A and B are shown apart, each in its own frame.
Chain A
Amino acid sequence: DTEVTQTPKHLVMGMTNKKSLKCEQHMGHRAMYWYKQKAKKPPELMFVYSYEKLSINESVPSRFSPECPNSSLLNLHLHALQPEDSALYLCASSQVLADVYEQFFGPGTRLTVL
């Protein structure tokens, strides 16, 4: 299984809602990543987990809260988002953090904040 799966594929939420994005991989990878990608822009790194511990937080607002419950799962909890947070949220994994270049990306969750 060389796949990273993400759910849901699409999400529409209001600014007062609380929702979560989920990411799963069964490749035994120990590094997992969240990226945000706006239209016609490159992915921007948000968070990196290495061995289920948060390694990198790229100064992301607290309305985004990551969680890594186990080595296969990565969640992104959303609360009180703004319309400008609408974007494609990509999850990725690599074998270990040092293999950051060989990331496998999931198909993404397309988020719209109304």
Chain B
Amino acid sequence: RKEVEQDPGPFNVPEGATVAFNCTYSNSASQSFFWYRQDCRKEPKLLMSVYSSGNEDGRFTAQLNRASQYISLLIRDSKLSDSATYLCVVIDNDYKLSFGAGTTVTVRA
């Protein structure tokens, strides 16, 4: 079983729509959780951290469910520029960072 699993998508949504997707992790001792964004043929960039209480950054909302071992990302009022691959990142207590395979989101006009 992979350490971090994501629905690969693609999620094709119209501008202005809301899109949400999850990421599950297998190591219950995982400590920290993040969402990175990677545009086509570019490097990954940190999008946001995921806190236990849930957190919001503009149109983006991240949630953590420790009991079910998943994190989620919700994007409201989608923009064309949100089209990218969203990588879930989980860090264990040995500082090992594991990436999910990514969820592709395509926002169409």
Contact = CB atoms under 8 A, between A and B. Distances in A.
A42 B99 contact: yes
Interface of A: 40-45, 48, 56, 90, 97-98, 100-103, 105-108
Contact of B97 (A41, A45, A106): A45
20 contacts: A40-B102, A41-B101, A42-B87, A42-B100, A42-B101, A42-B102, A43-B44, A43-B99, A48-B95, A56-B96, A90-B43, A100-B91, A100-B97, A101-B49, A101-B97, A102-B46, A103-B97, A105-B43, A105-B45, A107-B42
B32 interface: yes
A108 B41 CA distance: 9
A41 to B, nearest CB: 6
A79 B82 CA distance: 39
Given A42-B100, A42-B101, A105 B95 contact: no
B34 interface: yes
B64 interface: no
A107 B42 CA distance: 6
Q: Taking each of B43, B96, B99, which has the highest tally of chain A beta carbons within 10 Å of its own beta carbon? A: B43
Given A42-B99, A42-B101, A45-B97, A101 B43 contact: no
Contacts of A98: 95
A35 to B, nearest CB: 9
Nearest to B89: A101
B106 to A, nearest CB: 14
Q: Taking each of A40, A41, A42, which has the highest tally of chain B beta carbons within 10 Å of its own beta carbon? A: A42
Contact of A101 (B34, B100, B101): B34
Nearest to A90: B43
A106 B44 CA distance: 9
A107 B45 CA distance: 10
Given A90-B43, A106-B43, A107-B43, A101 B32 contact: yes
A101 B46 contact: yes
